Amino acid sequence: MGFLRVIRKWALRDKMPIREIARRTGVSRNTIKKYLRAGIVEPEFQRPDRPSKLDPYAEKLTAWLLSEQRKTRKERRTAKQ
């Protein structure tokens, strides 16, 4: 959760005093007042969908995991294998 979002949540929803917010965050009371007056919210950036490097092998890996899941504990592969 973003820093400004936490400050706004504490002040507006939880009705926490500015002095308490300043004590918890380590930011001065004047700075917190400035953030609340401005009403700015941290921007949420759109992340493009990037293909994973494992996508070509996804079916094979899931098949391996399912086959290993059915085996007994002693027969399963270890992390090193």
pLDDT tens digits, 9-22: 999 999 999 999 99
**What pLDDT is stored for residue 24 in this prediction?**
94
**Residue 22 vs residue 75, higher pLDDT:** 22
Please tell me the pTM assigned to this model.
0.50
pLDDT grade for 1, boundaries at 50, 70 and 90: low
Mean pLDDT to the nearest integer, 50-71: 89
Buried (b) or exposed (e) across 11-44, using 16+ Cβ within 10 A? beeeeeebeebbeeeeeeeeebeebbeeeeeeee
